[in-house]
Amino acid sequence: MATTSWDDVKAARMGDSVVEAAYAAAQLAFELGEQVRAMREERGWSQRELSALTGMSQPAIARFEAGGTTPTLPILERIAIAFDATLSVQLKSKAVA
């Protein structure tokens, strides 16, 4: 084997993963957007009010709620704080089999 062999051997398998991950992240972004919109409306806040509380722009809130972008963790933290909520990010092993 020429190169490291790992790069080659796993390359094919990895190709799918990146796409799969991108799709999963997009779905996550969409769901988070929906949840934030629900929490915001629950409190009767406008996008402008939430943007002021989080230091974000109103367009950023709109994009995020629509699932147009995948939010960063710092942004999610700011939103959590605005809602007096807790941000939880976990990597949970599926099966131990």
Partner DNA sequence: AAATCTGATACCATCGTTGGTATGTCTTGA
Partner DNA sequence: TCAAGACATACCAACGATGGTATCAGATTT
Provide the binding-site residues for DNA, judged by CB under 7 A: 29, 41, 46-49, 55-60, 62-66, 68-72, 75
In the DSSP assignment, the letter for residue 44 is T
| Nearer CB in complex with DNA: 73/96 | 73
Pick from 52, 60, 62, 63: which binds its own copies (CB under 8 A)?
A: 52
Pick from 17, 41, 59, 66: which binds its own copies (CB under 8 A)?
A: 17
Which of its own copies, DNA, none does residue 58 bind to, with CB < 5 to 8 Å depending on kind?
DNA
Structure token digits, residue 4: 């490291």
In angstroms, the CA 72 to CA 92 distance is 20
Distances (CA, A) of 9 to 3, 13, 15, 19: 10, 8, 11, 18
